Amino acid sequence: MKTRTAGLILSLAVLFAAPSPATAASAASPKVYLLRGFMNVFSLGLDELAARIDKIGVRAEVYNHTSWSRLAGQITAEYNSGKTRPVILVGHSWGGLDVVNLVEALGKNGVPVALAVTLDTTSATIEGGQVGTFLNLYASTGVLKAGSAFRGKLINQDLARTMDVGHFNIDKLEPVHAIIMRHIATAVGRRKPATAAPKS
């Protein structure tokens, strides 16, 4: 009898301690992963952008672009645990190229990306992955193409047509930050989707 009573008490303790699916889902929050470019020193505008994102209550962290492979595992674990949803990626220069790598790797892991933003990276083909919106902002060159296994909306926007922008300032300009912030707000459900930017 004592054994049964102890077992019942233990079962009830586990039941009340374990979070329900609804509780676990409500604990999920968006996160923005920002990847700097070459040598980890030429994309300091991303640090300013991360601080701005934090101010609206969305988690944001800046990484060296060379850590993208490790990040793929980290993001997959955080997504599968329900901790991080939706996933948002931003990268400048080589960091942008590694955002492409991350999108492809996460796609293989079954992790969707709500928003991916690349800033003046080299031209490439996104071979796979699932992305709500993939926004490629560049200055004159650096068009991205969607491969056959890519799923999502890809927007290429040449900012040199409308502003004085180049490779070493695209990550720092206020108008560029404003574009990204609007897309982040949409991705986390805080505003209605904006009219699609013109494709190149």
Q: What is residue 190's predicted lDDT score, i.e. its pLDDT?
A: 84
Q: What is residue 4's predicted lDDT score, i.e. its pLDDT?
A: 43
- Please report whether residue 22 resides in a domain: no
- Please report whether residue 194 resides in a domain: no
Residue 85 pairs with which residues in a beta bridge? Answer: none
- Please report whether residue 5 resides in a domain: no
Residue 171 pairs with which residues in a beta bridge? Answer: none
Any idea what the CATH number is for the domain that residue 107 is in? 3.40.50.1820
CA dist., res. 131 & res. 1, Å (int): 57
E strand or H helix at 96: helix 94-108
Q: Are 92 and 109 in contact (CB under 8 A)?
A: no
Q: Give the CA-trace dihedral at 200, 35, 26, 110, to 10 degrees.
A: 70
Question: Residue 134 corresponds to which tokens in the numbers above?
Answer: 């993939």
- Please report whether residue 71 resides in a domain: yes
Verdict on whether the full-model pTM lies above 0.75 = yes
CA dist., res. 33 & res. 50, Å (int): 9
- Please report whether residue 195 resides in a domain: no
- Please report whether residue 142 resides in a domain: yes
Q: Are 31 and 61 in contact (CB under 8 A)?
A: yes
Interacting residues of 150 by C-beta distance below 8 A, sequence separation 6+: 126, 127, 128, 129, 131
Averaged over successive runs of 10 residues, the pLDDT of the chain (200 residues) comes to 43 38 62 94 94 98 96 98 98 98 98 98 98 98 98 98 97 98 96 50
- Please report whether residue 11 resides in a domain: no
- Please report whether residue 13 resides in a domain: no
Q: Give the CA-trace dihedral at 136, 137, 139, 142, to 10 degrees.
A: -10
Range of the domain at 130: 29-187
- Provide the domain count of the chain: 1
